Amino acid sequence: GNSVTQMEGPVTLSEEAFLTINCTYTATGYPSLFWYVQYPGEGLQLLLKATKADDKGSNKGFEATYRKETTSFHLEKGSVQVSDSAVYFCALSYTTGTASKLTFGTGTRLQVTL
């Protein structure tokens, strides 16, 4: 079946540091890939997505590139801020036909300090 593997957290960084959160997936065919973020006390929000190989999703300074050859979708940000402290979830879904379920990774907690 489909699965998503994320790096273990928590990740603790100083403000303005470079962030990478690794995500790899196992799936048949051509899934779409997503990063969701959950800020404290809130629901999950879609951060960015990529629907085909070599696509780059980007939002709020975060980027991730859909690498089919390595089955990866690593999240990166050049300079993190304290406000980026949250839990980040990598996910996949098949987006053709009827809307379908998301398969998530375990989540990676990011803590950014001054």
Name the site residues for another protein (rule: CB under 8 A): 4, 32, 36, 41-46, 49, 51, 89, 91, 93, 95-107
Name the DSSP letter for residue 80: -
Instruction: List the beta bridge partners of residue 76.
Output: 20, 63
- Minimum Å gap between C-beta 15 and another protein is 25
Whole-angstrom distance, CA of residue 57 vs CA of residue 51: 9
Contact by Cβ (8 Å): 71, 24: yes
Select 36 or 66, whichever has its Cβ closest to another protein: 36
Select 17 or 85, whichever has its Cβ closest to another protein: 85
3-state secondary structure of 100: coil
- Minimum Å gap between C-beta 108 and another protein is 11
- Minimum Å gap between C-beta 105 and another protein is 6
